[in-house]
Every structure is written in structure tokens, then in C-alpha cells.
Copies of this chain bind each other. A is one copy, B any other.
Amino acid sequence: MSRRHEHRGAVVLLSGGMDSATTLAIALGESRPVHALTFLYGQRHHREVRSARALARHYHLRSHEVVRLPVAGLLPSALTDPHRRLPTARAGRGRIPATYVPARNTVLLALALGYAEARGLDRIYVGANAIDYSGYPDCRPEYFRAFERLAALATRDGVEEEWRPKIVTPLLRKSKADIVRLGETLGVPWALTWACYAGGRRPCGRCDACLLRAKGFAEARVRDPLTPATARP
């Protein structure tokens, strides 16, 4: 299904979490070459970046760029501000949690779009999720469709040549348990991935990201190698 048109390679937004790791595994099955981009935008910790680097090595990617964006002051969030408390329980539906970073996905997709255009890659893979998501507006399916429409106008497509980038979101309508099951079939190395917002040596087990991850593994009846045996139900 992925080779109907002449296909010129992909870039994957690789945060180092389980969703982006699964998305990377999917991209590698559909596209060659695969490049990855990891952005440091002032997250509280760099634990995820270590995971991203480990995943890039594991999969022998063509290239993996880690880019530091000094935008924490511009785009304030509990995720980037050490003085704000992280939420310890999931926000209710219809509320945006404190970990929301304003316009984050638009910033990261825009950079991936420029990277893809400069290299003639025609797919941008993003591991966004609209089912068990954390209430972020820029994870909605209609958001990604709007970005794809923008991308066609933002770039040289239609001016100089035919180059129409696709935004590929293979996990958009999957539950965390679906993602765990899919990742298992693809052999995703879960031990290399990271979810916890707190970013200590071990996952905190209490933040939104830890709770979502634990729920996914529990429902899929898969053991999470990052969870200590005593903490499992």
C-alpha cells in the first residue's frame, strides 16, 4: 500500500517514547531510507533523548539528528518549567493538561517538513495518538490533515516540481494496548524506550505518561521491561 507512487524516503519524529519507537519500526517496514529527528525543546530531562539515540543505533538509521531548540521561555509548560508541578493523575476529557506545550507539534512538524523538503523525502512519520492521548489539541486527526494541506502550500510543490509530503500517523486511532501489541509483532525494543515525565533513573510510576504506559502493557498482557517486578500488579 505504501509503494503506489515513486517513494523517496521518510523522516520520523523520534522522541524516544514507546509511540515514536513503534512508529519508527513501522516506517522502516514501509520506507527507505529512514531519517530520524529528535528535538530538545526544554523538556525537564534528557532521558528520552538517550532513548532516542539508543533506538537510532538499534535500527542502524541512515541519519539521526538531535536538535536543541531554546524555546522553553517562548512556549511555557509544566514539561519545560521546573517550577511548575507535573500532573500526577490524568486530566479529565475536555481539559488540556499542564504538560501541554503550546503549538509543539506544529513547531516540530514544521522543522521536519523543512528537513524533508531539503532532502526530497516525501513522508513525515509522527507517533501521535488521539485515543489514549493526553488531551492535546494538536494530536487530533483533523489537525494532522490540516497540516498536510498546509505542507502542500508551504513548499516547492506546485511551484517548481511535484513534491507532496505526506504526514503519516499510523498510531493515531490506536489504543495504548493496540500499540503495545503492534510493537510486539514488530520487535520494538521496549527496554530502550522511555515514557516518564519525571525522568529519573527509573520511571516514577505516577505521572500521566507512566500511567498510560502501564495501562497499555497491562491491557495487552505484555510485560514492560522497564517496570520492576515488585511494582507490577
A95 interface residue (CB < 8 Å to B) = yes
CB neighbours of A74 from chain B (8 A)? 37, 65, 67, 111, 114-115, 118
Partner of A102, one of B94, B100, B155: B155
Stretch at the interface among A20-28, A53-61, A142-150, A189-197: A142-150
Stretch at the interface among A156-164, A178-186, A201-209: A156-164
CB neighbours of A151 from chain B (8 A)? 106
From A94, A106, A111, A151, residue with most partner B Cβ within 10 Å: A106
Given the known interface contacts A75-B118, A104-B114, A114-B104, the answer about A146 and B138 at a Cβ–Cβ threshold of 8 Å is no
Within 112-168 of A, Cβ neighbours of B (below 8 Å) are at 113-115, 117-118, 135, 137-138, 140, 142-143, 146-147, 149-151, 153-160
